[in-house]
Structure 1
Amino acid sequence: MWAKRKDCKEIIEAAWQAGNSLITLEGIASSLSRCASDLMAWNKDVIGNIPKKIQEKRKALNTLIAQDHDGSRGAKIDELRKDINELLDSEETLWHQHSKIHWYREGDRNTKFFHARASDRRKKNTILGPWNDEGC
């Protein structure tokens, strides 16, 4: 999810450009550490508050819609809707990644069940040969 965001790339570039010496191992380790801490702080501020930001933007959108009797605030309303859609996409990606982590950790507990279902379906859908109207 981070890779989709421009500000993530900017944080990484800033952390590496602020590095003292990228020639020595200590310099590289220092830059990696700085980059990691900057990304963690950014994640907490930006990614960690997605549900709160969605709620705030929806509230602002509803207020604008209620106040827009003459249609003069259409551009601002469209901009808020676009922001909300981007936040919802980010939230969906976040939940998708969480589900992958859970699946990898927990595994599939119903493997035997699903294998049996697939095998039964394959047997049912198998064509043994051409048949005529008399069943031969």
Structure 2
Amino acid sequence: MQLNTIAPASGEKHARRRVGRGIGSGLGKTAGRGHKGQHSRAGGYHKVGFEGGQMPLQRRLPKRGFKSMAAGTVADITLAALELLQAPEVDINVLKAASVIPSHIRGVKVIKSGEITRAVKLNGIAVSAGAKAAIEAAGGSVA
């Protein structure tokens, strides 16, 4: 094999469409653009969603809804949930691994609901005032 003998496989290359080159080519006269109208003319262009001047569908339909980017990123867990969790140290990853909170949650806050009797060390988790008192009373700590 020589560099000057390399050629593409048969059927790989297609001849480009030469429009407006006479009747015999099959693409003479209107050059495949049909008769009249915006698309037949040079520079014929319209935006995506353009409907010929009619009010476009995305503008005819009413605006609806709002999705807050901040909503649903902080989860609340109770003291009762911490009691059931058999881990001496708790952080967000431990809670996700135990399926106590969903995986998309970015922040956690412990609220005072239920009882806690064992010592638990919390790392990087927000705590309400009542929950902090209950955790420290049980011998735990909040970092």
Normalised by the length of structure 2, the TM-score is 0.19
Structure label with greater radius of gyration: 2
What is the TM-score when the length of structure 1 is the normalising length? 0.19
Bigger relative contact order, structure 1 or 2, given CA contacts below 8 A and separation 6+? 1
